[in-house]
Chain A
Amino acid sequence: MSPTVIEVKDICKTYFMAGGTSQSVLKHVNFTIHSGEFVAIMGHSGSGKSTLMNILGCLDRPTSGEYLLEGQNVANLSDADMAKIRGKRIGFVFQNFNLLMKRTLADNVSLPLIYQNVSASARREKAFQLLEHVGLKGYEDRLPTQISGGMQQRVAIARSLVNDPAIIFADEPTGNLDTRTSNEIMDLFTDLNKQGITIVLVTHEEDIADYAKRLIMIVDGQIQYDGLRGEYKP
């Protein structure tokens, strides 16, 4: 068995609201993700999948429970330490790409490395290498406004790879793309996964989830199904 990347133990997330009411968004969630897996997390809006994603991405903390990322408990780290983990061990791909519009593609790809004090020449070299990897060789000094949405998402994927992360979180990565481009992007993810990169995909689209091998279905803050994508029967 390949090494464990993520281990979630009994995680709960409760939002406390003014007036003393509270709302449980995640209830006793448990699962493990191993290196090289391609997991789709599915659920309807309001199911808690985004909250789970934020906790897994070290953007948020669980109310209770343990979250081990590569064996380190990151559930209760300080803001600064969480930022460090995000910068070094996690790659993000967002629905709306979130590229910096005034920077070149190469600058966008290498952006996370700025916060790791990597030299400008090393950053640029790495950015060129990754842009080539996602099929954008020759576009290094273009601006995001000069390329299509599908290409922008490729840039974002290159950016998520720049810090050699333990895992990539893709949050509805095809939500803003047409079907053909969506399939191209998903093919790219599949390729990356074949090269050994661990990917967690959050989506509500059945056919996008089909690209993943494993499915975690969230309903009302609880895992309703966790197993092979092909064996899931709604």
Chain B
Amino acid sequence: MIFQILKEAWISISAYKMRSFLTMLGIVIGVAAVVMMVAAGQTVQNEITKTFDSMGTNLIIIAPAQTVSGGVRGGRGKPTASFDDVESLRSLPDVETASYVVVTAAQAVFGNNNYGVQIFGTTPEYLKVGNWEIETGIPFTEKDVKAGKPYVLIGQTVVDELFGLQNPIGKTLRLKGKPFTVIGVLKEKGDNLMGDDQDNIVMMPVTTVRQRLKGSNRPQYADIAFVKVTQEDKMETVSRRIEYQLRARHHLKEGTENDFSLHLMTDMVEKVRQIGFILSMLLAAIASISLVVGSIGIMNMMLVSVTERTREIGTRKALGAPNRWIMVQFLAEAILISFIGSFVGMILGVVLSQVAGRLYDYDVPISIWSVVISASVAIIVGIISGALPARKAMRLDPIEALRYQ
């Protein structure tokens, strides 16, 4: 019986091809828009996740505390984690490794080229902490750190800007007039979330930075430190252990505030992901307005159809069609239109979002959501927009309907 009803519905729809096509178009556009918006949202989320993965997600960042004077919170205070503080954290349980960075910037010069670069003075451990890999060459070692060797690892941007097509390994570049030997090139990472170029970097032993580029009255203190945790679910525990350890080492009395601040990368990831999720829901919600318009289109067409086919309905009833059958028949027509519309819309949405992804060089996921959305749209929109016309058809009095001209 269901097959019979669907067949009847199909014959009725195909009898008015242009009208049915235009009505379907509303749903096609609506579903395609929703599918594309969801894909866009997911792409944003994926890109965010990818960026975080490039930095490593199991990170705890130790930064200076905010300064407080007279109850007014100011900017970041002086660096408060010493190199030894950070080294001591490596032995804590569930800590994979820890490292620290002294940050500065300078104009790098090679031959006739120069470029403003960011400089990280750090330890060999930092490569592991920051998920950096060596593309060519070798990393510097603990020994190099101890000796303050002028060895540098450079990012892809620095290679492009200074060396062009030359092999930079073994070449000497100058920072603040001092020579440094390139021993390795870092693998490309791309921009971070703020849009900063992560590959515009020169990495060298922390001792070298302190001696040659950035002196300090507290030379044994880091600007920022990183602790890499073995597992994501240990982040909170390790964070508390770090706090305890640093307070003890800084001889902070009970009731005083921390002179450092801890930031969990997982929290940041979560926050940004939430923003991404809200964004994609918002986009989908806006796109679904077109679905509402589309379903009004179906309802409108079905109401016209019921009026036009009043005599047909009367005939069918006179020939023994139960009211239920008439109702289901019109409902089936609405559902069939919205079903075909959502199917085509789903395909169109997926194809267009893939094309856009290729064009702008993003990996756009084909998500199960597009199927779920279009299937539920097909049924919900069909039922909602078909219910009223179907009811109207069902309630027609056969005598009146047969007399209708």
Binding site for B on A (CB under 8 A): 54, 57, 59-60, 79-80, 83-84, 86-88, 92, 94, 98, 100, 102-103, 111-112, 114-117, 120, 159, 163
Contacts and interface: CB of A to CB of B under 8 A. Distances in A.
B399 A87 contact: no
B319 A60 contact: no
A111 B316 contact: yes
B402 A94 contact: yes
B193 to A, nearest CB: 59
B402 A115 contact: no
A93 B314 CA distance: 13
B321 A83 contact: yes
B320 A102 contact: no
Contact of B311 (A57, A98, A115): A98
A94 B315 CA distance: 9
B315 A98 contact: yes
Contact of B323 (A83, A100, A102, A117): A83
Interface in B306-342: 311-312, 314-325
Task: Give chain B's interface secondary structure class.
Answer: helix
B399 A59 contact: yes
A112 B321 CA distance: 7
B398 interface: yes
Contacts, number: 57
B1 interface: yes
A84 B311 contact: no
Contacts of B318: 57, 59, 86, 92, 98
A120 B311 CA distance: 24
Nearest to A156: B315
A86 B98 CA distance: 87
B323 A115 contact: no
B92 interface: no
A128 to B, nearest CB: 19
B11 A163 contact: no
A84 B15 CA distance: 28
Contacts of A57: 318
17 contacts: A57-B318, A60-B399, A79-B323, A83-B317, A86-B319, A98-B311, A98-B314, A98-B315, A98-B318, A100-B312, A102-B11, A102-B12, A103-B11, A111-B316, A112-B319, A117-B1, A159-B319
Nearest to A98: B315
A116 B320 contact: yes
Contacts of B399: 54, 59-60
